[in-house]
Structure 1
Amino acid sequence: MPAALRGGSRVQAKPRAKAPASSKARSQAKPRGAAPIPHAKLRAAQVVGLSPQNALIGAAGLMAVALIITLATGHRAEHLAQGIETAIDSEFGAVGFKLNSVRVQGASPMATADILKAAGVYKDQPLLGLDLEALRQRVEAVGWVKQASVVRLLPDTLVLKVEERRQLAVWQHGGRSVVIDDHGRVIPEAESAKFPTLPLIVGDGANEYAATILPAVAAQPRLMERLEALVRVDNRRWDLRLKDGSLVQLPAVDEEAALIQLQQLDQKSRILELGFERIDLRDPSVVAVRPRDGALPGQLVANGV
């Protein structure tokens, strides 16, 4: 600035003093080398209008990038990954992403208890830290379950969708009774005493062939309501034991045709109501009926005795 002349004297202008730094500017100054902590990030995110959830998602992405960069550091990368995972779980849990409820869909009440036990999850567990694939495998290891899927519903719910194995029959063999599914596989968790309405099959190999014979028997309601058990004989054919002690012997092949013969016989003479000791259907050309006490009323004989 040029000098100003006043009364013939030359006066040099004084330079303006710099304004002192405001307290606000000093408060915003960042100490050299200081590392921001996660909660500080969340507060900063709120200042600029971001929700804590979005801030954490962004932080998780940055952590993942950092992990990729340090993969060449040997075992240090593994420890870093574990630390990052723990930190993310903790931060997401802090804003509400904790397990609060588990929904089991597609399972009966008896199966649900075993499924929850196998899942091994607990209340307030970090929801985003769950290994969903490992959880699915644990659920599918339960005998009730045919297949399963696991869905995470933020912020606090886990859904276990299962397809339950259909209980087909109670299989009695080797001195014990178990429940089997429609593929003949044992459901270990199912207690046979709790399934009194399931048909009873008996003998070695009965589980393997039950799915074939039972639909044919169930197609005849009058026979089915009188049935006590299906007995596998020499693992090649079936005997049907009725509740009144009667016995129906089926052939090794074409059991359905033999059952149709029995149905026709019953329609003609009501033999299932009258009772008998044995009906032998093993020979498709001859139906042999043995009365329980002498001849049945009307001298029932079908193609021989």
Structure 2
Amino acid sequence: MKRRNAWLGILLLALLLGAGSRALWLWLDRPIERVSIRGEWSYVSADYLRTQLAPLVQDATWLSADLGELRNRAMNIGWLNEVRISREWPNALVFELVEQMPVARWNDDFLLNPEGEPFAFAPLEVPAGLPDLAGPAGSSEEVLTYYHRLTPHFAGLSLSLSQLRLEPRGAWRIQLSNGAWVMLGRHQHEVRLARLSASWQRELSQHGDHIRYIDLRYPNGVAVAWHGESDFDDSEE
């Protein structure tokens, strides 16, 4: 009899603890009433981030919210490179947000971060002064890497690049900051760039503002077209 009463007491205690735990969970799992955002941002604003995050936590509750799923959804917000989320007593979520660092435009509708990963910039404006890069889908890292390789070469000629384009068949085109195009083609890049440097230092630099394009796709020379002349040959050698 005593053993039976002991088991009954244990069962009642377990039921009471279970009911208490359930009540405690329901008391703690209240609707999220506040979302805090933290971080340092140069391009995005706190108002933009709050507007983008608000739909993600609508109808969510403090304990039941799946922070991993919330993070995945927040990563789809434009301009965010990293998202960390934590709970804050009694009914708040804290979003620590790291923004993307744009280093170039990409195919008109995107920007590139330093790793060459595209991200959408809308609805924000494109920051001024970024180089304009373009290429086939999936080539953004390759194009950005080549842009960084070319930059010191042209800097040695007191020139800077405003555009770099990789054509679908593999040819490269470069636009200088003075508006002139350089047709680099698909082959012998180092030889062709060395030929450009020699021609620029010897003569072309004196007429830079009048150059429409420089075509390096010749075996032993450089072709120059001037403003007002006919369109250039569009072959990709």
Q: TM-score, normalised by structure 1?
A: 0.51
Q: 2:39 aligns with which of 101, 105, 110?
A: 105
Residues 264-303 of structure 1: pairs in structure 2 closer than 5 A: 264-269=198-203, 270-271=205-206, 273=208, 275-282=210-217, 286-290=220-224, 292=226
**In structure 2, which of residues 68, 76, 83 is the aligned counterpart of residue 148 of structure 1?**
83
**CA contact 1:251–1:282 (8 Å) conserved in 2:** yes
- Aligned match of 1:72: none
1:127-166 CA distance string (max 9 Å, x none): 5554322321221122322332113344576432334333
Q: 1:106 to 1:157 in 2, by over 3 A?
A: farther
Q: Does 1:165 align with 2:165?
A: no
The answer to whether the 8 A contact 2:116-2:141 is kept is yes
1 or 2 for the larger relative contact order (CA 8 Å, sep ≥6)?
2
1:86 to 2:26 alignment: yes
The separation in 1 between residues aligned to 2:179 and 2:124, in whole angstroms, is 23
Q: Deviations over 1:50-88 (max 9, x none)?
A: xxxxxxxxxxxx999627xxxxxxxxxxxx96x653322
Determine helix, strand or coil for the equivalent of 1:137: helix
Unaligned 5+ residue runs, structure 1?
A: 1-61, 68-79, 294-305
Are 2:84 and 2:97, in contact at CA under 8 Å, matched by a contact in 1? Answer: yes
Q: CA deviation at 1:102?
A: 0.9
TM score, norm. by length of structure 2: 0.62
The match for 1:119 among 53, 64, 80 is: 53
Structure 2: runs of 5+ lacking an equivalent: 1-13, 228-237
The residue type equivalent to 1:150 in the other structure is: I
1:236 and 1:154, CA in 2 relative to 1: closer, same or farther beyond 3 A?
same
The equivalent residue for 2:109 is 178
- Please give the alpha-carbon distance, in whole angstroms, between the structure 1 residues aligned to 2:200 and 2:16: 75
Q: Distance in 1 between matches of 2:16 and 2:206?
A: 77
The structure with more radius of gyration: 1
Distance 2:64 2:195 in 1: 63
Contact 2:40–2:98 (CA<8 Å) still a contact in 1?
yes
d(CA) in 2 for partners of 1:156, 1:257: 65
